[in-house]
Structure 1
Amino acid sequence: MQIFTFILILVMAVVASQPLTRLFRIIPLPIVQIALGAALAWPTAGFHPHIDPELFLLLFIAPLLFVDAWEAPKREYRKLLRPILSLAFGLVFFTTLFGGLALHWLVPSMPLPVAFALAAVLSPTDAVAVSAIVDKESVPKNLMHILEGESLLNDASGLVIFRFAAAAALTGSFSLWQISLAFLLAVAGGVAAGLLAVVVVSWALKLLAKFDRIAPEAQVLVVMFLPFAAFLAAEAVHASGVLAAVVAGLTVGRTRTANQLSVSAYMLAHSFWTMLAFLLNGTLFVLLGLQLPAIIRTVPPVLIGTHWLWQPLGIIGALTLCLILLRFVWISAAIALSRIVSRHLRLEQFHTTLRTRLAGSIAGVRGAVTLAGVLSFPVLALDGSPFPGRDVAIFLAAGVILLWLAIASLGLPPIVRGLAAGQGAAHATEMRRARITATEAAIARLEGVAHRGGTDGAATVDQAVAEGLIATYRRRLALLDDGRTPREEAVALQRAESALRHTALAAEREALRDLLRSGAIDDATFNALAHELVLHDVLAESKAGSH
């Protein structure tokens, strides 16, 4: 019962964070959710849950990364593959090396292998927090795509390096070539496990499709298992489960797996994953807040040699600024090298400014993956003594997460202001062209039906319906502003059509309620027809919002 109560309180905290964010407009959503979690844990009688890092990665990180990868813009990721891989792997190694050295210099009592492990687990970024801090429309599209792609992959690379560094700290042995080989095997195993999970799920969906009248809920349940199956399969062979979930998400939309879902199942799956991602993202920050009071109350003694407050705050501040500086140096060096290579190979060059590089550096906010990773440090060494530096690592990781969030909340909005000017028009043009192409294809197909010969009743009905649909598609084509209708007139016509459609749908709902109250129809009939109206309403809203 206590676990159930705890889950309900977590959900209520996520819901409550939404109106609180609207009330305190200047405070980003992640900080509000962290504050709610801290408020739930701070009193003596509050909640103090123990987080199992492996279970946390399975239940929270794997499905979240799967959803993000499924909905990721694959075309843009291919276009920006070089900078994404540079940040997701190159920057992780760079941060582990130099961040670890800086940590050992700031806290000499921390063993160097532990410092490297902490620097590795401080490498994963949290693009969700950035999206909550600033409006995605105000961030340049390429920068946002790079940050999101980096966040998908560096969770895996950072955690894999952390695992090997922690093992080296535990055993006292280190072999560069063995760790490099193990890293490659963990990455390859994660990719293979993700692809295998997609193949198995695709086969299961194909098997279900052979049976008539399969409930769409059954298909959604099969897809729901995909990220968890990929994660567990990878972890079973000591590979990266996080990377397996990402690979599964990236490939499921590009294979026939998604196409094997019925229309109803696809809509259910989309709604399910959207709601789950919203809940899990909010729960992550609330859980982060739940851990903070206990961490902050127990400042490790090695950090308060000269002052109980200013020394630990100074170390956290210096470490955070060092990580931001390392990120800025790597981005600047990678851009300079990319320009040289692009010039010689005649590849497309990415034009950036100092503000863009600064925004990309500050936007590398750390989040729940870092906390989950650092909490997985061993409690005891092999000889039974306390693991060296564990409490210091947890305290510093929590401090960096909070301080970086605060820096990004204050500094990122003014830096990105005006950087994305004009990108909305390009996206709208692309959508309009795609709609025109799709509409013209529909008209051509229907014209073939309308002009098809035949004198029987069925052919006559098909021709009449096709002609009516062609007229509808031609009216839609005119509204898409392909040069024949002024843009302002098209928008006005679309809004008028949407308003009239809402009026008609409202009248249908009222008529159905009257029929239900009078007993002319039963609840099952009412619910089925009301669901159809909801679908029509959703389509109307989506069309109105895209114009």
Structure 2
Amino acid sequence: MEIFFTILILILLVSISGLLSRIFSFQIPLPLVQILLGALLAWPQFGLHVDFNPELFLVLFIPPLLFSDGWKTPIREFLRHGSEIVILALVLVIITVVGIGYLIYWMIPGMPLVAALALAAVLSPTDAVALSGIVGDGRIPKKLMDILQGEALMNDASGLVSLKFSIAVAMGTMVFTIGAASLDFLKVAAGGLLAGIIVTWIYSKSLRFIFQLSHGDFATQTILLLLLPFAAYLIAEHINVSGILAAVTSGMTIGQSSIIRHAPLSMRLRGNSVWAMLEFVFNGMVFILLGLQLPDILLSSILQAEFDPNINIWMLVTYVILIYSALIILRFCWLIFMKRITLQFMSKCPMVFSEYSIREILIVSFAGVRGAITLAGVLSIPLFLSDGSVFPARYQLVFIATGVILLSLLCGVVILPILLEGIVVSDKSLQLKEERMARTIAAEVAIESLHKMEERLINSHEENIDIQIFNEVSARIIGNLRRRINNTDNIEHIMLIEDLERRMRLNALHAERGEYYHLRAQQKISNETLTKLLRDLDFLEALLVGDE
């Protein structure tokens, strides 16, 4: 019963956090509000305590969130920026683990090198969810945000794999060598990617068969689709490859699969609503759980520091500031270095980094906020080693990682709005022009499909269609309500006209939807434009289909 009430309280906090973030005269980012709410309830006066199980946290929250992000990420744009994403999500992570790890080892007395590398590993992943909560959607220029989102999707895996290597070395279960670590990393990463693709392919084939068996049972179909990220993650982890990469790849694969495009309308509408709700609730619970851990982390670190003659709480706070500053400086210098490398040696095929100004590099640097993966990673560090001794400096690792998360969020709240001031994110007129162009082309295709439908109906011997009625319907799609009022004496005639009009509208909508996907494949419209146009078509189709 206590667990049930705790879940209800967490969901209630998530639901009211959005309101609280807007009632103040100055807007507070939603993640910070949720962290503060969690910390407030965890304080001794309120006494809400939730045991944080890192493995359960990773399985419950991370797969659906990464799956959703992967679903919304167009593969073409992701692959277009593939080199930039690899440089940030893999190369920069390795540099961060080694460089920041040795800095921590040198800076903190008594800190073993393996523990320092483990801390650097959990600090390397960035969090796109926290970033969106800080700056909001559509505030960061697209050429920056595409790479930041791709980096956040991929560096979770590289950071956690590096953490596993560090823990394995500390536990004595493996001896670290560069060759073995590189080979193991490639196996884990490639295996995770393949696992996500294969599981999703099998799943989509099964769903297509299930759709045929359970026609009209859209609730079952939606639930089965919701299980996909967990299936991909758990199967990948079971075969000792990256479950995180499997969840991301699964989302990308299902987004390109025809199973969703050709799914029944009710399933698409319900599925979108369910995913939007789950994404909001899961994102909120991640940050509330982070807040719930803060008092315990702070109190335990203070108590541990009292028994450690080499460390006090103010030294730990200083280490948090210095380590976060080192992360920002390293990220900034790496981007500057990549910009110069691109300009000097890649003039024929330059990367996007060559277009970045100093201001944009600063934005990308401070946009690398830390979040849920960092917390889950540091809390997954075991309490004891294989010989039964305490894991070295674990309380310092937890305190510093938590402090860096909070400091990165606070710096993002203060600095990013200043850096983004006056930046034109997107040209609205260009987007409107693109949308009008897409609608015009799709309308032409729809008209052509109606002509084909006309020929098919005229030549059909099974359907008795009056040519005059058909011409009337095709010339005047709108006006059925007025005809119903003016021709109440001939109900059957009106029903025939309305049924034919509905079928023609549905035919046109299906043709438009297909053309929108075609335009997106030709990169004539963006993914955002495609999403908006498809949503409009779904609503129109829902009105036409009704309860059918």
TM-score range, shorter chain: 0.7 to 0.9
Deviation at 1:117, TM superposition (A): 1.2
Residue 153 of structure 2 corresponds to residue 146 of structure 1: no
User: What is the distance in 2 between the residues matched to 1:263 and 1:410?
Assistant: 43
- Deviations, residues 141-164 of structure 1 (Å, cap 9, x unaligned): 111111111111111111111111
Match of 1:175 among 177, 190, 194: 177
Residue number among 289, 293, 296 corresponding to 2:295 in the alignment: 293
CA distance in 1, matches of 2:475, 2:192: 52
Tell me by how many angstroms 1:220 deviates: 1.0
Count how many residue pairs are aligned between Structure 1 and Structure 2: 482
C-alpha distance in 1, partners of 2:31/2:350? 42
Taking structure 2 as the reference length, the TM-score comes to 0.82
Corresponding position: 1:383 with 2:387: yes
Following TM superposition, by how much is the alpha carbon of 1:288 offset from its aligned partner in structure 2, in angstroms? 0.1
Displacement of 1:466 after TM fit? 3.0
2:189 equivalent among 183, 187, 190: 187
Question: Residues 55-454 of structure 1 correspond to what in structure 2 (within 5 A)?
Answer: 55-171=56-172, 173-211=175-213, 213-299=215-301, 300-301=304-305, 308-345=312-349, 350-450=354-454, 453=458
In the TM superposition, residue 356 of structure 1 has moved relative to its aligned partner by 0.2
Q: 2:213, 2:256 → 1: CA distance? A: 25
Following TM superposition, by how much is the alpha carbon of 1:169 offset from its aligned partner in structure 2, in angstroms? 1.6
Q: 2:36 matched to which residue of 1?
A: 35
**Of 447, 463, 466, the match for 2:474:** 466
Displacement of 1:344 after TM fit? 4.0
- What residue in structure 2 maps to residue 18 of structure 1? 18
How far residue 170 of structure 1 moved from its aligned partner, in angstroms, is 1.6
**Structure 2 partner of 1:5:** 5
- Superposed CA deviations along residues 74-100 of structure 1, whole A, max 9, x for unmatched, are 332232222112111111111101010
| Superposition deviation, residue 309 in structure 1 | 4.5
Of residues 358-367 and 331-340 in structure 1, the stretch that sits farther from structure 2 once superposed is 331-340
Structure 2 counterpart of 1:8, which letter? L
Give the 3 Å change call, closer, same or farther, for CA 112–347 of structure 1 in structure 2.
closer
Maintained 8 Å contact 2:211/2:221: no
Partner letter of residue 474 of structure 2? A
> What is residue 498 of structure 1 aligned with on the other side?
none
Moved more, 2-11 or 349-358: 349-358
State whether residues 53 and 372 of structure 1, in contact with CA within 8 Å, keep that contact through their aligned partners in structure 2. Answer: yes
Asked if the contact 2:38/2:291 (under 8 Å) is kept, the reply is: yes
List per-residue Cα deviations over 1:95-144 (Å, max 9, x = no partner).
10101011112213111111111101111111111112113322111111
* One-letter amino acid matched to 1:188: A
- The 2-side partners of 1:186 and 1:33 are apart by 34
Unaligned residue ranges in structure 1 (runs of 5+): 477-531, 540-547
Partner amino acid for 1:457?
A: N
Task: After TM superposition, give the deviation of residue 260 of structure 1 in Å.
Answer: 4.4
User: Secondary structure in 1 aligned to 2:256?
Assistant: coil
Give the superposition deviation at 1:451: 6.0
Q: What is the rounded CA distance, in whole Å, between the counterparts of 1:75 and 1:470 in structure 2? A: 39
Q: Which moved more, 1:105-114 or 1:319-328?
A: 105-114
Q: What is the identity, as a one-letter code, of the residue corresponding to 1:50? A: D
SS in 2 for 1:343: coil
Letter of the structure 2 residue corresponding to residue 40 of structure 1: L
Paired residue type of 1:267 = L
Give 1:527's aligned residue: none
Code of the residue aligned with 1:142 in structure 2: it is K
Distance in 1 (CA, whole Å) between partners of 2:243 and 2:410 is 31
Q: Could you tell me whether the CA contact under 8 Å between 1:295 and 1:395 is conserved in 2? A: yes
* Amino acid aligned to 1:414: I
Aligned to 1:523: none
| Residue in 2 that maps onto 1:457 | 464
- Change over 3 Å in CA distance of 1:304–1:35 after alignment to 2: farther
The answer to whether the Cα contact below 8 Å between 2:187 and 2:241 also exists between their aligned partners in 1 is yes
SS of corresponding position for 1:162: helix
Residues 449, 462 of structure 1: 8 Å contact kept: no
Q: Decide which moves more: 245-254 or 302-311.
A: 302-311
CA contact (8 A) 2:316 2:399 kept: no
Deviation, 1:448, is 3.4
Cα pair distance change 1:347/1:295, threshold 3 Å: closer
Q: Verify the 8 A CA contact 1:194 1:246 in the aligned structure 2.
A: yes
Report the Cα offset of residue 196 of structure 1: 1.7
Question: CA, structure 1 residues 137+345, in 2 after alignment: closer, same or farther (shift >3 Å)?
Answer: closer
Deviation at 1:397? Answer: 0.4
CA distance 1:445–1:17, shift in 2 (3 Å): same
Counterparts of 2:205 and 2:39 in 1: how far apart (Å)? 45
Match of 1:518 in 2: none
Take 2:119 and 2:146, find their aligned partners in 1: how far apart are those partners? 27
Contact 1:137-1:420 at 8 Å conserved across structures: no
CA distance in structure 2 between the aligned counterparts of 1:213 and 1:451, rounded to whole angstroms: 31
Task: Tell me how far 1:35 sits from its aligned partner.
Answer: 0.3
In 2, the alpha carbon distance for the partners of 1:535 and 1:43 equals 51
Provide the alpha-carbon RMSD of the alignment.
Answer: 2.7
Q: Secondary structure of 2:346's match?
A: helix
* Mapped contact 2:142–2:425 kept (Cα < 8 A): no
Q: Please say if residues 252 and 258 of structure 1, whose CA atoms lie closer than 8 Å, have aligned partners that are also in contact.
A: yes
Deviation of 1:251 after TM superposition, in Å, equals 0.8
1:349 is displaced (CA, Å) by 7.3
Say which is worse superposed, 290-299 or 328-337, in terms of deviation.
328-337
- Taking a change above 3 Å as real, the CA distance of residues 182 and 194 of structure 1, as seen in their structure-2 partners, is same
Q: Report the secondary structure of 1:419's partner residue.
A: coil
Shift of 1:47: 1.9
